[in-house]
């Protein structure tokens, strides 16, 4: 037998392999740190953030102080240098307390990832350290009123003009719009070019002349994260704000989503974990027919199914995060699967949680109805779950 490799037919029974199926200690320690912060500094404000539809400034301040507001940015740009899995753990634990607050690190990653994947050294140095230091947030402008799932149908235009570009059009459903200082914006630069290869990515700054944001949308959930339209009225920007090559914008955008859909899966897992934790505590305390509700077998079956599917969703998200870090060839499948499965699980768990609390689940005195409302968006943004199933099927049919 050669060292480190069994002979053909010989079984491997030593225990070290099992270490692959648990998070390394550094991730467990990170989880403990973020959970403590979320419990102490984010959760106490979550109901008020939702009730008043206000940006969770307490969470933002706490996350900046702990260097958790944009943990994915590399150390060379003054960031924490967290890998994809660590970033998911951060987002999951924040979402367990407040889904709106989890969108601070999630959207900072979404907005800056095009720069990280395809930006020049100059554009990275210009924007990434500012976000890493907590001096600005970064949003992502892809969707339009008539170009949501069909992103290639976007109508926003960028016309070459001298040594720069002039942007005209609008973007819809932009998360954290109005509080972010910077925006990755996709625009058609060659209207007569091949569909999908005629789009270019740019950075727009909140102080650019001709750029404005609409009124906040009145939403079902994640009310603490402002969602607005972006408007571009002949916004003039230099070519030094272009991300990647002319015509590569949609390719960059879709590659970005392969990575960032996983963070939505992490958000969904966090929401579901919060709902399960509150439900277990409630049914152990609530008494009916002379005993705790948790003692009824029908309730136990519901709890078991909630916990089982939650664990499956978490493992799917973590596996996808590892693939994101490695840039595996099947990342598009696993990114879509993580987002799709985890969000479906979160919706199912939060609905069951409301059911198990009965009347208490339906009122705002308990956080379950908020969690149920928050969970719904995870099935919709960064590509609806119907689109995720198309992504997965296309990957299978190509192989």
Output the DSSP codes for 298-320.
HHHHHHHHHHHHHHHHHHHHHHH
- Complete DSSP assignment for 104-153: HHHHHHHHHHHHHHH--HHHHHHHHHHHHTTS--EEEE--BTTBSS-GGG
User: Token match 């704000």: residue?
Assistant: 241
Amino acid 19: pLDDT: 62
What is the mean predicted confidence (pLDDT) over 98-104? Answer: 98
CA distances from 209 to 67, 143, 363 (A): 32, 22, 45
- pLDDT at position 22 is 85
Active-site residue, selected from the candidate residues 93, 229, 369, 382:
382
Check pLDDT > 80 for residue 3: no
What is the phi/psi pair of residue 138, to 5°? -135, 120
**How far is the C-alpha of 69 from the C-alpha of 134, rounded, in Å?**
7
**What was the pLDDT predicted at 21?**
77
> Mean of the pLDDT values across residues 92-114?
98
- pTM for the whole structure: 0.94
Q: How many CB atoms are located within 10 Å of the residue 265 CB?
A: 34
Sequence-ordered list of residues with C-beta below 8 angstroms from that of 310, at least 6 positions apart, any chain: 269, 272, 273, 276, 345, 349
Query: DSSP class of residue 69?
Result: S
Give the pairing type, strands 242-243 and 227-238: unpaired
Give pairs for 303-307: CB < 8 Å, separation 24+.
303/276, 303/279, 303/356, 305/352, 306/272, 306/276, 306/279, 306/348, 306/349, 306/352, 306/353, 307/276
pLDDT in tens, 314-363: 999 999 999 999 999 999 999 999 999 999 999 999 999 999 999 999 99
| pLDDT given for residue 18 in this prediction | 56
Structure token digits, residue 21: 């199926």
Q: Which domains does the chain have, with CATH numbers?
A: 21-132 (1.10.540.10), 138-246 (2.40.110.10), 250-398 (1.20.140.10)
Residues, the chain: 399
DSSP-derived secondary structure letter, 248: B
pLDDT in tens, 24-83: 999 999 999 999 999 999 999 999 999 999 999 999 999 999 999 999 999 999 999 999
Q: Where are the alpha helices (DSSP H) in 223-296?
A: 249-285
382 is catalytic: yes
Evaluate if residue 236 carries a pLDDT over 80.
yes
User: How much is the pLDDT for 164?
Assistant: 97
Which pair of structure tokens corresponds to residue 75? 């150390």
pLDDT digits (tens, 9 = 90+) for 255-286: 999 999 999 999 999 999 999 999 999 999 99
- If you ran DSSP here, which 8-state letter would residue 199 be given? E
Nearest-Å Rg of the Cα atoms of the chain is: 22
Instruction: Dump pLDDT digits (tens) for 150-199.
Output: 888 999 999 999 999 999 999 999 999 999 999 999 999 999 999 989 99
Please list, in sequence order, all residues whose beta carbon lies within 8 angstroms of the beta carbon of residue 61, skipping any fewer than 6 positions away: none
pLDDT at 12: 45
* Sign of the C-alpha dihedral computed for residues 43, 45, 48 and 52 taken in this order: negative
Residue 338 DSSP label: H
Residues in Cβ contact with 130 at an 8 Å cutoff, skipping those fewer than 6 apart: 136, 181, 182
237-241 mean pLDDT: 97
């Amino acid at each position: 037998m050669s060292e480190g490799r069994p002979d053909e037919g010989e079984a491997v029974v030593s225990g070290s392999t099992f270490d692959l199926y648990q998070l390394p200690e550094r991730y467990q320690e990170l989880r403990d740190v973020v959970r403590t912060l979320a419990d102490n500094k984010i959760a106490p404000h979550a109901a008020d953030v939702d009730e008043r539809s206000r940006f969770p400034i307490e969470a933002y301040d706490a996350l900046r102080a702990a260097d958790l507001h944009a943990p994915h940015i590399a150390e060379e740009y003054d960031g924490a240098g967290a890998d994809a899995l660590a970033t998911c753990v951060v987002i999951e634990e924040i979402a367990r307390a407040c889904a709106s607050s989890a969108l601070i690190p999630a959207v900072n990653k979404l907005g800056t990832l095009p720069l990280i994947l395809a930006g020049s050294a100059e554009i990275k140095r210009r924007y990434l350290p500012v976000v890493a230091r907590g001096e600005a947030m970064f949003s992502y402008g892809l969707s339009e009123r008539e170009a949501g799932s069909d992103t290639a149908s976007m109508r926003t235009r960028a016309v070459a003009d001298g040594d720069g570009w002039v942007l005209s059009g609008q973007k819809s459903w932009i998360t954290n719009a109005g509080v972010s200082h910077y925006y990755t914006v996709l625009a058609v630069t060659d209207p007569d070019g091949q569909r999908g290869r005629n789009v270019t990515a740019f950075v727009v700054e909140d102080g650019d002349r001709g750029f404005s944001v609409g009124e906040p949308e009145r939403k079902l959930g994640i009310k603490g994260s402002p969602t607005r339209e972006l408007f571009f009225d002949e916004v003039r920007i230099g070519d030094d704000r272009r991300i990647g090559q002319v015509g590569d914008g949609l390719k960059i955008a879709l590659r970005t989503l392969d990575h960032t859909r996983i963070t939505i899966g992490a958000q969904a897992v966090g929401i579901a974990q919060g709902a399960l934790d509150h439900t277990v505590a409630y049914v152990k305390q609530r008494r009916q027919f002379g005993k705790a509700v948790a003692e009824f077998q029908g309730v136990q079956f519901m709890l078991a199914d909630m916990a089982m599917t939650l664990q499956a969703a978490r493992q799917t998200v973590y596996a996808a995060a590892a693939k994101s870090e490695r840039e595996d060839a099947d990342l598009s499948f696993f990114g879509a699967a993580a987002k799709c499965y985890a969000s479906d699980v979160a919706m199912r768990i939060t609905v069951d949680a409301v059911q198990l609390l009965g009347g208490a689940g339906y009122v705002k005195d308990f956080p379950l109805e908020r969690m149920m409302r928050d969970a719904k968006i995870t099935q919709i943004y960064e590509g609806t779950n119907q689109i995720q199933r198309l992504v997965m099927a296309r990957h299978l049919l190509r192989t």
